[in-house]
Amino acid sequence: MVLLLGALSLTTPPSFAVEILNGKQLDFRTGYRGHTFAYHYKWLSRNGEEQTMSFELKKHMAQTSNREFQKFDLKEEQRYITEVMRLYRPLSHSIKVHVTPRERAYEIRFSGHATQSEIDAERRAVEDYMKKAELKYSTERLYTIDKRWGRLPDYMAIANLYAPRVRPVAEAIEKNTEGMSPRQKINYALEFLQSIPYDTLKNRENSNGSGYATPVELLSRNIADCDSKSVALLSILRNMFPQTPMVMVIVPGHAFVGVATAMQPGDVNIQLDGQNYVLAEPVGPALQPLGEIEGRSLQSLQRKDFTYMTF
């Protein structure tokens, strides 16, 4: 079945019953080893075989990464923007601008002698200045502002930033999948992440109160939600497939990924802006291979109730 949705083309396989196995992590251990932090994992694959994987990350990098992404502080942002506005210079010397922070908003007042058109122009300039300050504050803290979803972690910036940091993970996967096809390598990476315990990350202790874990924080805490696992997969795969286009798809309450790789019969795939992506669900615990997604994910795509970010 192919659904044409404007610039979007969605291909889904015929409906039939599929047995989906849940991932089971058998062992997780971490520990210091000189100037590195060692990680060891063991889990059951889709065919019931035990899989083991070990790697090491630089200790300083791991410690920094575990603290790097923090819960967004609206009050601190207001203080920052208020300070930045002290540097603002009005378009007209006859106008004074007064910016007062309120609950989740700002009161903007003007005084002096000016026409209504001059005041309107000044207001537009002030609002533009404040938006740039807000964007700068968010970007520096690895957040972005989406028109629909509001403020979100800057997933693609985080994926790019952390790709070199998780290179040892990709190298461990490459070692364990030597001689396998690209699809088999992707499925191995998927099973690894799907087997990591799921958590909504609403607990402050599990995510610095942010509700999101960066790829290294995910590995260290051995717990993650859908968007955290999706970004981790993108960062890992970028090391394995440097030139392969990828995408992160966000639907209400959920996130998953797409990889521009060769299709197989039955794959759920989506075409965005002329590029075809085979879809995948890193979240787990279901061990769904590349080309399979959850029913709610598919329904959101069919309703065009989603947004996406290319990587």
157 with 20, same domain: the answer is yes
pLDDT over threshold 80, residue 115: yes
Q: At what angle do helices 226-240 and 155-162 cross, to 10 degrees?
A: 40
108 with 255, same domain: the answer is no
- Residue 165 makes CB contacts below 8 A (sequence gap 6+) with 57, 61, 65, 215, 216, 235
211 with 267, same domain: the answer is yes
Structure confidence at residue 177 (pLDDT): 97
Scan for tokens 């709610």, then name that residue.
Answer: 296
99 with 240, same domain: the answer is no
**Which domain-ending residue is among 140, 168, 195?**
140
Structure confidence at residue 39 (pLDDT): 96
53 with 107, same domain: the answer is no
19 with 34, same domain: the answer is yes
In our burial notation (b when 16+ CB lie closer than 10 A, e otherwise), range 13-23 reads: eeeeeeeebeb
160 with 278, same domain: the answer is yes
Please tell me the total count of domains within the chain.
Answer: 2
Residue 310: CA count within 13 A, CB half-sphere: 12
How confident is the model over 57-66, as a mean pLDDT? 84
Structure confidence at residue 9 (pLDDT): 60
pLDDT over threshold 90, residue 11: no
134 with 262, same domain: the answer is no
How confident is the model over 93-121, as a mean pLDDT? 86
111 with 82, same domain: the answer is yes
23 with 80, same domain: the answer is no
194 with 269, same domain: the answer is yes
SS3 call for 310: strand
| Domain, as residue range, for 101 | 74-140
104 with 200, same domain: the answer is no
Does this model's pTM top 0.95? My answer is no
